[in-house]
Amino acid sequence: MDETWTLSDLVSEASSRLAALPAPKNGQVRAVPDERTIRYYATIGLLDRPAAMRGRTALYGPRHLAQVVAIKRMQSAGHSLADIQAMWPTLDDVTLTRMTGVQVAAKAKVARKEFWKREIEPEPSPPPPPRAKRAPVFSLVVTIPDSLSLSPADVRALRAAAAPLVDELAKRGLTAHVLGTLEEEP
């Protein structure tokens, strides 16, 4: 692995990189993040998991440094963390390097690129359990007030709308005994 830092070293490295940038204008954003802030960035998905662990000590690499510097640059430009989270998936390693001046390792770039190419195969759903052994999970009761009268067209529309749900419930063995039906009025 290239260069790695502990969390406190990452804060120091980020501090030296961010010193060249103008301070945030609004005073609500810290110019340099502390350890707690960097942990928070990881919690909300703005910082990748540590590159490695040495015992209980997390080690961070150049990509982490680039992420921290990018977050602070975007904040100093007036973007909120919510804005940054929305933009974050569009930032690749090349863009991070260009934004921050931190060279992100080429192999990380390839791994990330290949990750997004990978297709996720849906997991097959397990067969429904035998109906005799399974109690109903829920029941649905629809009460229509006497004052409301449904036309035959309303009944057909309700049946058509409910059909996919009823089919899926039946496929999964989740339907209970039908207590009544919705009858069309003559």
What is the C-alpha to C-alpha distance for residues 84 and 70, in angstroms, rounded to an integer?
9
Burial class (CB in 10 A: 0-12, 13-18, 19+), 31: middle
Query: 34-48, 49-63, 110-124: lowest mean pLDDT where?
Result: 110-124
Q: With a cut of 80, say whether residue 124 has pLDDT above it.
A: no
Q: In 93-184, which ranges are continuous DSSP H helix? A: 93-100, 106-117, 152-171
Residue 175's contacts (CB-CB under 8 Å, 6 or more residues apart) are 136, 166, 169
What is the C-alpha to C-alpha distance for residues 74 and 83, in angstroms, rounded to an integer?
9
**Which DSSP letter does residue 54 get?**
E
Rounded to whole angstroms, the maximal C-alpha distance in the chain is: 82
Query: 46-55, 81-90, 145-154, 156-165: lowest mean pLDDT where?
Result: 145-154
Q: With a cut of 60, say whether residue 174 has pLDDT above it.
A: yes
Q: Which domains does the chain have, with CATH numbers?
A: 7-117 (1.10.1660), 131-171 (no CATH)
User: What is the pLDDT, as a whole number, of residue 184?
Assistant: 43
Residue 135 has φ and ψ, to the nearest 5°, of -80, 155
pTM of the model: 0.55
User: What is the pLDDT, as a whole number, of residue 49?
Assistant: 93
User: Do 69 and 14 contact (CB within 8 A), yes or no?
Assistant: yes
